Every structure is written in C-alpha cells, then in structure tokens.
A and B are shown apart, each in its own frame.
Chain A
C-alpha cells in the first residue's frame, strides 16, 4: 500500500463499525437505487414481451382453426341419375344437400328456414364438392357418405368472435339472418371448429378466400432460400474471416476491406434487394421470384454478419494457443485449423445461425425480386426445381396477407407470424445446443 495507509487523512472522523456513516449510507442507497432501475428495466422488457406474445397468440391462433360443417347423408341411385341428367348439375346436388341438412336439423328438433343461397353464403358451393366425390367414387352412391365442408371466412369469423351480430353488415357474403342458421347448426353439432391443417401445409389462395390460404408453399420457399444462404454464406464467410484475421497482412488494403465489411452490415436490406434485381435477375437472367435469387440476395446480406462474428470469435481465441501450436512446429494453417478454429466454432455457429435467422425474417429485398406472397400458388415439382420455381417466402407471404382487404387474412397474417416465430425459436435453440455441444469439448 502507499502512504495513505500509513498516515490516515485527518479529515476522516472516527466511527464505529455498526453505525454506517453518511457517505456509506449514500453509497448503499445509490447501489440499491441502481439495482431497482435494473430490475425495473428488465420488468418492463418482460412486460412488453408478454404483451407481444399474448397479442400474437390471441390474433394468430384462430388461423389454426377452421369452422367446418359435418354432414352424413345417403345419395340414392335415383337422385344421382336425376342430378346427372339436369342441366345445372351442381345446383341439383346443392338442393339435395340443403334437403339433407334440413332433414337432419328437424331430426334434432331445430326449426330454421333457409334456402340454397344461405347455404352458399355459409359453406360456399357444397354441390361441387359433393358431385366430384360421387363421380370419383360411384360405388358410394346408395350408401351413407360423410362430408366435411369448410365454412366461409365470415362464418369462421363469427365462430372466432371477429364477426358479431352487432358488427355484421348484410352483404352477399353473409346476412344477419344466416347467423340464426349458423347458431342452430352449431347447437345441433353440425358445425364445429376443427384444426386447420391446410393453413400449415397449404398454398396461398385467392384474395376472396382466406379460409383456403396456407403457408406451406412459402415455408418451402423459405427452406430453399435458407439452403442457398447456408451453403454459400457459411463457407465464404468463414474462409474470408480466417484469411482476414489470421493470414492477411495488416496494411491499407485490409483496412479498407475491414471498414467496408462493417459498413455493409449496416446497409438497409432493400438496397440489397434492388441490387439483386439488377444483378441476378436483369443482368444474369436468373428467373424472377426464384428462391435461388432470394437466397443469393440474402447471402449478400448475411455475409457481413457472419464475417464480423467469425472474426470476433477468432480474435477471442487466446494467442497462447497459437504460440503453443507454432512452438511445437505446426504450420500457420495447422495451428489455425487444428486449434484456433475448433475453439472459435461455438462463436462462428452462433453468428451463422443468428445471420440465418435474420435472413429468414427479411421481407423487403424479396418483394423487389418478385417473391411476393401470391406467387406461392404451387409447390415446386422436385428438389432442384424448388430453387428455380417461382415461390414466396414466409415473411413476404405474411406481408401479402396483411395487405389484403378481407379481414379473414388478418388472422392468417398473425398465424403466419406464429409459424415464423416457431422457426426462429427452433433455430435459436439449435444455436444454443450447438454452442453447448462444442464448448463441452473445451
């Protein structure tokens, strides 16, 4: 210690150990306050998170259910023959369906009057579905056949509470009096909510059919994009970082490169989108709306993130390990690949997965290269065509749904966000697991 401990300053008054003096009290109070601020900040953050999740779940969960109408009835051979001989065949099937529905309602003691038009507003055109079924399975004629028909988006909204008797406006989509029928059907157990698999596996639907919209095709689009991003950005990014960090001489050139990489990480994504449009689509002639092009654009976006995080984790490896390797006669490359890289691996993987997660949620550049939501109408035919067939990606699909007029799409957009978040959480979990796994090997 220095002189201070030898001659205590005279200004310091003598005090007991049990009674804190004014300065100590002040210091302790400041510390206590700081802790409170910290806890308050964390609390506010958690509150927002909770709010976010409840609002996402509340708005998005209805997208995973679909109101369906269950009905089982027998079509006699005579009815089949009559219907097939009519000019308006599906109309006849619709009438048969209405009659069957009416019969079942009466059987269960409900008395509601309705016509084929009301049925049309509630479940669309059941005649088409029924006719197709019996044409494909003629042997079913004369035996009881069950049908599960998807209710229209307004009925779905009524079941979910989005549409109420107060807010409904009579239109060709749904009338107030139809709700009596819906209520009766629901009480009779003919209409019920079912899990909407089509939302997870299906393709995008037309603008007036939110019930038929699914995110499956754009999940596939995102998957192929991520494949491109992973297999391009990881090797290029890691190789570039290793060269820059371990081998490149420190001169003006590498300084310029370094500054530019850092700057690229901050370039708005839409700039990459228009660059991709100009270079990959217009100049190189790659197909528009293709996940390959989307992947290339996102690779450009992800590279700076991966390079920066990889370089940081390489630089964090203690120099003594490099010395040790060189000291036993390892070459520079051996020291990097045998010792430095394995130690940097957890950091590199975390950086890569965070980069991929960022790319997965990127929307703006995809819109510019034509990967908009309504393109996702078909699944790719095979693995290779998955890269080149026009498709969309999850965030672009969500954006498209959110901008559509039908309120049914609103909950589809939220539902899409739930699925996107599930993917992101999975990726982050993988990052954590990989990190643990590699760290355990010291």
Chain B
C-alpha cells in the first residue's frame, strides 16, 4: 500500500525515459508515421489510442526496433532511451530488445513448457548462474504476472495448453523475466475475456512500479483505467498527447474529441 502512494506521487516527477523526435516510418512508399515527437516518462503507463491503421502499433514497434525485421520498412528520425539513440549504427537491436520487452497482441507462448517459456530469456542473457537462481527468476516473474498460483503445480506442462488469458499472462511473465526497463504492450487484451482483461490491467498497474509501460489499445475505457498519459494517433500523426484525465475530459483537438465520443474510428 505504501508503495502505491509513492508510485502515484511519482507521476508528477518522473523523468523522461523514451524521447522520440520527428520520427517518420515508411512501408515501401506508404508514409505510415508522420513527424511523431513524444516524450514517454519512466514508471508511467502511457496508452496509445487511435483508430485501426493509424500507426500506433507501428510506432510501438519502432521503440524496440521490431520493424527491422520487415524488409520494406524504413525508419528515420530520432528515438532515444535514456538519452541514447537506439537507431545509432553502434546499437545492437538484440541488446536493445533485452532492455525493451514486448508483449504481443496475440498470446504467443513458445511451444515449450511453462517453465522454459519464462526461463528462455534469462537463459540466453545469462541472468542466472545456476538452476536455483533460474527457478527463483521464473517464480518471481510468474508471480509478477499474477499467474504463479495457477501454474505452480504444472510448470512442466506446455505453455500452449493454457487458456488465452493465462497464455497472455505467461507472455507477460516471459517479458518481465529478462528485467527490461521498458515494457511495450501491443493490444495485450484484445484476445481476452473481461475477467482476464481485468487481471492483465491490474498487472499493468503493478508493473508501473518498476517499468515504463507503453500500451496500445483499442479500448478507450482501458486507456482511461490503466494509463497516466495518453497519446492519440490519427492517420499517422500524433494528434494529441497529455495526461489521460485531460485527454478524456478536455481534449484540445476536435479529432480527439470525435474519436473519444465515438464519432470517428
């Protein structure tokens, strides 16, 4: 409880974790992201909202350079995490992704055991020196993802055999197991039922204590519930960015207002 209050207060004083300036993304000839500049704070949940195809997922994937895997995708501009340019030629995207974890829209556990799913990241990054430490990391990560109690009896069972909500929480456990500093979530609840969604949202709020969380969502209620900052994207532009309360109650831009009130999108 005590921690919660500290976290709440931190919202005001957090420093900038991710700073993007004039980011442009092209898919071939399609200009998908236009001039986006945004400053994302540490220990804050930032929600990206906007209609389908507005570029919010694309922008999210720029932050851990997942777009590198798409051949036709070109990114220009400047994205800095802790003042370091992540598109600098000296940056190894693999190292970056260890620092910037990601949870995907569709739950995608590895077709391995629950234990191996969580242990995979720590293993390849050498975070554990022995089996005991690895066990500890796995348990801690599963606890953080609020799924420990459900799976502790069957860590050897396949991760793909879990229900959709459990799978997504397993993916979150997998993402936090590598101790990232930023957690990117691309519509993590779109495949989940309301109960699982509530669990994941609770979890996101928990994660805020340690991470800077960026979440893409189609649900405005969700954005309002979990985020402290909200960015509204429309047709590749960042239309409005600010405190979640402000955006939802007092939007400056007419497009934001139309979207929030359900007139576009």
Q: Pick the contact of A324: B64, B69, B104, B178 (CB < 8 A).
A: B104
Q: Pick the contact of A326: B69, B111, B178 (CB < 8 A).
A: B69
Tell me if B125 and A329 are in contact (CB < 8 A): yes
Tell me if B111 and A327 are in contact (CB < 8 A): no
Scan A291-332; emit 1 where CB is below 8 A from any B CB, else 0: 000000000000000000000000000101111111111110
Tell me if A327 and B175 are in contact (CB < 8 A): yes
Tell me if B97 and A328 are in contact (CB < 8 A): yes
Tell me which residues from 81 to 113 in chain B have a Cβ below 8 Å from any Cβ of chain A.
94-95, 97-99, 101-104, 106, 108-112
Tell me if A329 and B71 are in contact (CB < 8 A): no
Tell me if B178 and A328 are in contact (CB < 8 A): yes
CA distance A364 to B110 in the complex (A): 46
CA distance A331 to B121 in the complex (A): 11
CA distance A188 to B236 in the complex (A): 100
What residues of A have a CB within 8 angstroms of the CB of B251 in the complex?
A: none
CA distance A412 to B33 in the complex (A): 74
Tell me if B124 and A324 are in contact (CB < 8 A): no
Scan B108-140; emit 1 where CB is below 8 A from any A CB, else 0: 111110000000110011000000000000000
Assess whether B164 is interfacial by the CB under 8 Å rule.
Answer: no
Q: Pick the contact of A328: B71, B106, B175 (CB < 8 A).
A: B175
CA distance A250 to B160 in the complex (A): 32
CA distance A331 to B64 in the complex (A): 13
The closest CB in chain A to the CB of B107 belongs to: A320
What residues of B have a CB within 8 angstroms of the CB of A283 in the complex?
A: none
Tell me if A329 and B94 are in contact (CB < 8 A): yes
What residues of A have a CB within 8 angstroms of the CB of B223 in the complex?
A: none
Assess whether A74 is interfacial by the CB under 8 Å rule.
Answer: no
The closest CB in chain B to the CB of A339 belongs to: B110
What residues of B have a CB within 8 angstroms of the CB of A343 in the complex?
A: 111
CA distance A334 to B92 in the complex (A): 15
Minimum distance in angstroms from A103 CB to a CB of chain B: 77
Tell me if A328 and B158 are in contact (CB < 8 A): no
Contact A329 to B121, CB < 8 A, known contacts A324-B110, A324-B171, A343-B111: yes
Contact A249 to B71, CB < 8 A, known contacts A320-B106, A329-B98, A330-B124: yes
Contact A327 to B102, CB < 8 A, known contacts A339-B110, A442-B160: yes
Number of A-B contacts (CB under 8 A): 69
CA distance A324 to B109 in the complex (A): 7
Q: Pick the contact of B97: A320, A322, A329 (CB < 8 A).
A: A329
Tell me if A321 and B110 are in contact (CB < 8 A): yes
CA distance A322 to B177 in the complex (A): 18
What residues of A have a CB within 8 angstroms of the CB of B174 in the complex?
A: 324, 328
Minimum distance in angstroms from B142 CB to a CB of chain A: 15
What residues of B have a CB within 8 angstroms of the CB of A324 in the complex?
A: 104, 108-110, 171, 174
Minimum distance in angstroms from A331 CB to a CB of chain B: 5
Tell me which residues from 202 to 261 in chain B have a Cβ below 8 Å from any Cβ of chain A.
none
What residues of B have a CB within 8 angstroms of the CB of A442 in the complex?
A: 111-112, 158, 160
Tell me if B109 and A326 are in contact (CB < 8 A): no
Contact A329 to B178, CB < 8 A, known contacts A323-B66, A334-B124, A442-B111: yes
What residues of A have a CB within 8 angstroms of the CB of B66 in the complex?
A: 323, 326-327
Contact A330 to B94, CB < 8 A, known contacts A250-B71, A320-B106, A442-B160: yes
What residues of A have a CB within 8 angstroms of the CB of B103 in the complex?
A: 327
What residues of A have a CB within 8 angstroms of the CB of B98 in the complex?
A: 328-329
CA distance A339 to B121 in the complex (A): 13
What residues of A have a CB within 8 angstroms of the CB of B158 in the complex?
A: 442
What residues of B have a CB within 8 angstroms of the CB of A330 in the complex?
A: 94, 120-121, 124
Tell me if A338 and B108 are in contact (CB < 8 A): no
What residues of A have a CB within 8 angstroms of the CB of B125 in the complex?
A: 329
Scan A402-442; emit 1 where CB is below 8 A from any B CB, else 0: 00000000000000000000000000000000000000011
Q: Beyond the given A323-B104, A324-B174, please list 5 additional residue pairs across the A-B interface where CB-CB is below 8 A.
A: A250-B71, A321-B108, A324-B104, A330-B124, A338-B120
Residues of A within 8 A of B (CB): 249-250, 318, 320-331, 334, 338-339, 343, 441-442
8 A–B pairs (Cβ distance < 8 Å), ordered by A: A318-B108, A320-B108, A322-B69, A324-B104, A324-B108, A324-B110, A326-B94, A328-B98
Lowest 10 CB-CB distances: which A-B pairs, in order? Answer: A329-B98, A320-B108, A442-B111, A328-B121, A327-B102, A329-B97, A324-B108, A331-B94, A442-B158, A328-B178
